[in-house]
């Protein structure tokens, strides 16, 4: 069986470094035999604030169902003012809909993390926030978390990562989330 990997992240800007990094890691997971599904910036930007007056049960349902069926997750967030963006945080708030499941939140799932920022300090604090959120959601962060210092031309126009260090990190995240998903399935009789 192929593990199911769901990717969540990006920004409101199409073609952002965050989303390109996420796509790169997701492509690695797919090359490792995973079935993949991406919920990028465009999808996340259309989500109303979770449980606000504008929120309905249909909002985010496709993403929540994909995570419910997933064996692994990859989350990518840009560093805004030392933490994750509101766009990504709001999307993760939708995972509250998994709280009463037999496998609540991200329990029993490997979670690869990618933090992007223009500076090293912001990417590190964003990574720490992502790890804290994943722990709170009972997920298992992969050992490698990619901290990506962004700059112009980090990715080619067709999405290829042009930085060997960043490419290596994203490759490891993609492989480890698949490896973790398969490990959980082998020990718990899970999905993969």
10-26 pLDDT, tens digit per residue, is: 999 988 999 999 999 99
How much is the pLDDT for 187? 78
User: Which of 51-55, 150-154, 161-165, 187-191 shows the lowest mean pLDDT across its residues?
Assistant: 187-191
The structure's pTM equals 0.96
How much is the pLDDT for 142? 97
Band (pLDDT 50/70/90 cuts) for residue 191 is low
Residue 192 has pLDDT above 60, yes or no: no
Q: Which CB contacts under 8 angstroms, 24+ apart, belong to 122-130?
A: 122/79, 122/82, 123/79, 123/147, 123/148, 123/149, 125/79, 125/82, 125/83, 126/77, 126/78, 126/79, 126/82, 126/83, 126/84, 129/77, 129/83, 129/84, 130/75, 130/77, 130/84
84-132 pLDDT, tens digit per residue, is: 999 999 999 999 999 999 999 999 999 999 999 998 899 999 999 999 9
Closest CA to 75 of 168, 152, 5, 161: 5
How much is the pLDDT for 186? 83
**More confidently predicted of 184 and 38:** 38
Question: How far is C-alpha 15 from the geometric centre of its chain's CA atoms?
Answer: 16
Residue 32 has pLDDT above 90, yes or no: yes
Counting every residue, how long is the chain? 192
**8 Å CB contact between 41 and 19:** yes
């Amino acid at each position: 069986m192929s593990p199911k990997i769901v990717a969540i992240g990006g920004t409101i800007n199409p073609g952002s470094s965050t989303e390109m990094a996420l796509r790169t890691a997701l492509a690695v997971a797919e090359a490792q035999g995973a079935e993949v599904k991406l919920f990028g910036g465009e999808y996340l930007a259309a989500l109303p604030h979770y449980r606000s007056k504008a929120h309905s049960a249909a909002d985010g349902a496709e993403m929540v169902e994909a995570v419910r069926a997933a064996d692994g997750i990859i989350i990518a967030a840009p560093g805004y003012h030392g933490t994750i963006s509101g766009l990504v945080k709001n999307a993760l708030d939708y995972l509250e809909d998994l709280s009463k499941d037999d496998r609540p939140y991200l329990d029993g799932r490997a979670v690869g993390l990618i933090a992007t920022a223009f500076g090293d300090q912001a990417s590190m604090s964003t990574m720490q926030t992502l790890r804290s959120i994943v722990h709170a959601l009972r997920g298992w962060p992969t050992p490698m978390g990619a901290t990506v210092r962004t700059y112009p031309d980090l990715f080619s126009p067709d999405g290829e990562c042009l930085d060997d260090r960043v490419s290596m990190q994203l490759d490891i995240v993609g492989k480890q989330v698949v490896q973790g998903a398969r490990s959980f399935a082998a020990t718990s009789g899970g999905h993969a």
